Amino acid sequence: MEMSDAPRCFAALSHEGRLAVFRLLMRMAPQGARPTDMAQTLSLKQNTLSHHLAGLEAAGLILAERQGRSILYRADMAALAGLMAYVGLDLGRGRPDLAQPFSGGDGLTLGARQGGFNVLFLCSGNSARSIFAEALLRDLGRGRFNAHSAGTRPNAEVNPFARQVLARNGHALAGLRPKPVDVFRDDAAPVMDFVFTVCDTAAGEECPPWAGQPITGHWGLPDPVKAEGTEAERALAFAQSYAALRRRIGAFVALPMNSLNRLSLQAAVDAIGEEAARPEGRKDP
């Protein structure tokens, strides 16, 4: 990033509203979000959000992509990388004592490699999608992963439709229960190597940084609990969520974890999320 570009980025992010929008897009990265969803998540009026988006786009921090009649906004990861490099290398003069707190190192921790990678799946209710993900990783991972799930506002129990899908696909139900996310922020909780959000609601909520600097990913799915219609139609929504997560987790467990560094793993996690979010029939150029 050129020195002349940095002040424009800093000015855009100095506004509390624009910063909130950019932070939301970073939590949704690399998939991005639509204005109506952002306005609802941040409790902003549409015209106020449009003003913030225009400011961030003018600063070169976000990208707009038209999809049909709507526009999808994404954080420009390359621009952010340039800004971070400017802060670290120019303002910070490349000092290792300043870079160390967020550098993350080149690979995952040795302890995680020896005992299995700790993975946490988050959603709002923790009664269906994140429970599916926990059960799938536990069984498809074949002992290589320690799978967990939690909710930002957990329900009292696993959804009955979700239980039916899990049982039908041969997953043991023992130990699967909704839990608050704070359980995994306790000092005694395992340090996570990966944290995935599987719903837009959880990704959109404010969340302090995780200890251990885990690799994060957003694999958002529609909430099957909100599906309407007949009992068969509602059951189908749960089966579709399960199938989508099975594809993603199948791709995740196939990654050569021990031969990839953090940067490569993050790119692979993002690619799985982007492939899953791609509209039916769309091919990238």
Cα 251 from Cα 212, distance rounded (Å): 24
State the CATH class of domain 6-103: mainly alpha
pLDDT at 60: 94
pLDDT at 1: 61
- How is the chain split into domains, by residue range? 6-103, 110-277
Q: Where are the beta strands (DSSP E) in 124-163?
A: 145-151
Of 273, 268, 271, the closest CA to residue 245 belongs to 273
pLDDT (tens place) for every residue of the chain, 285 residues total: 676 789 999 999 999 999 999 999 998 888 889 999 899 889 999 999 999 999 999 999 999 999 888 899 999 999 998 998 888 888 887 776 776 555 555 555 444 556 789 999 999 999 999 999 999 999 999 889 999 999 999 999 999 999 999 999 999 999 999 999 999 988 888 889 999 999 887 777 766 678 878 899 999 889 999 999 999 999 999 999 999 999 999 999 999 988 888 888 989 999 998 875 554 434 443
pLDDT at 5: 85
Tokens of 35: 């204005």
pLDDT at 137: 97
Strands 70-75 and 62-67: antiparallel
pLDDT at 91: 84
Cross-strand bridge partners of residue 229: none
CB 180 within 8 A of CB 186: no
HEC letters along 234-250: HHHHHHHHHHHHHHHHH
State the CATH class of domain 110-277: alpha beta
pLDDT at 110: 42
